[in-house]
Amino acid sequence: MHTRPYIVVDDQVPFLEGITGKHARIIRKPGHLIEARDIRNADALIVRTRTVCSAALLQDSSVSFIGSPTIGTDHIDMEFCKAKGIAVANAPGCNSGAVMQYVFTALVAWAGSRKCDLRNKTLGIIGVGNVGKKVATLAGHLGMHTILNDPPRARAEGPHGFSDLGFLLEKSDIVTMHVPLDPLTRGMAHRNFFASMKGSACFINTSRGDVVDEGALREASPRLGGIILDVWHGEPHIDPATVSITDIATPHIAGYSLEGKRNASQQVVRALAKHYGWDDLKDYSIVLPTVGQVPQDLLFTRCFPIFVEDKQLRTAPEQFEHLRNAYVFRREWTPEQYRQLTLCLPHKISS
């Protein structure tokens, strides 16, 4: 290893200014263009999901650390890394607040377009981890009923409070996905899944695109009451036919808040500091600007004008990657704003 480690970084990863020249030599490159030859002499990588860290990419490199400021690691061959002694750090929970904000912003927008009230609706949450727990908590505050499905948690904690998937699909007015992508969840939202959903129910996916069989979703779309998608099969080359059946479509930016990006970069830099013994960065932190004032009745709309993103993607789905990379990170609700959230009749909230 070099005296100063050589680190290849996805050029879309923000908040790494604390890693100075005294710590490392850094080269930035678009994540989807990082190839084996680029990392052959690298000691570490900091990448997003656009860089697939496979055995083919890593096998001839000197990489000993991969930092991914993302909630998941499905883009990293974890078995290969374990066998080769490559340390991997990601950032679970980093953007859970942002995704929760997305879900309710999208729901209020969807309900507003239908002149319906979300209060007393039943929200089925599939996957009750960092994001799902926050979604469940806010749903309760806003007068919604929740049904929770999370088999791993039910096995570990006992079945109380959890329901099986069939019951959730049958009883829920809204179904939202918050599962990791793994062999058990890949394609879990298939033809039978959608056939089991209540007629006119709304379906939301902000987890990973490949947990949904998009062909089955398109077939089911006439009987569903709404479809909200932020993640897609084949990203960044998404299917316009799937975009066309949605009520709200966005380019995988549900977790793209300034707070979420700050949290992710902090976690990765701290892990990198531990790996290399950089004591001055072990508590690396980033201070964000103060959030501006937003009237209480506009907290669901002004903080995140979701239909702007929807229109851009719907107009040019082939521009998915550009739209995602050009997205200006929004601000999350502050604790004070969160306490002020009230679920007004959605048709009274302008979109």
Catalytic residue among 4, 219, 235, 314: 235
Catalytic residue among 252, 262, 324, 330: 252
Selection from 255, 261, 252 nearest residue 16 by Cα: 261
Q: Is 208 a catalytic residue?
A: yes
Three-state secondary structure of the chain: CCCCCEEEEECCCCCCCCCCCCCCEEEEECHHHCCHHHHCCCCEEECCCCCCECHHHHCCCCCCEEECCCCCCCCECHHHHHHHCCEEECCCCCCHHHHHHHHHHHHHHHHHHCCCCCCCCEEEEECCCHHHHHHHHHHHHCCCEEEEECHHHHHHHCCCCCCCHHHHHHHCCEEEECCCCCCCCCCCECHHHHHHCCCCCEEEECCCHHHECHHHHHHHHHHCCEEEECCCCCCCCCCHHHHCCCCEECCCCCCCEHHHHHHHHHHHHHHHHHHHCCHHHCCCCCCCCCCCCCCHHHCCCCCCCHHHHHHHHHHCHHHHHHHHHHCCCECCCCHHHHHHCCCCCHHHCCC
Dihedral, CA of residue 246, residue 250, residue 255 and residue 258, to nearest 10: -150
Cα–Cα distances in Å, from 187 out to 115, 147, 209? 32, 21, 9
Residue 107's nearest CA partner among 78, 160, 76, 143 is 143
Q: Is 178 a catalytic residue?
A: no
Given 208, 262, 330, 331, which residue is catalytic? 208
Active site residue 37: no
d(C-alpha 232, C-alpha 210), whole Å: 7
Catalytic residues: 208, 235, 252
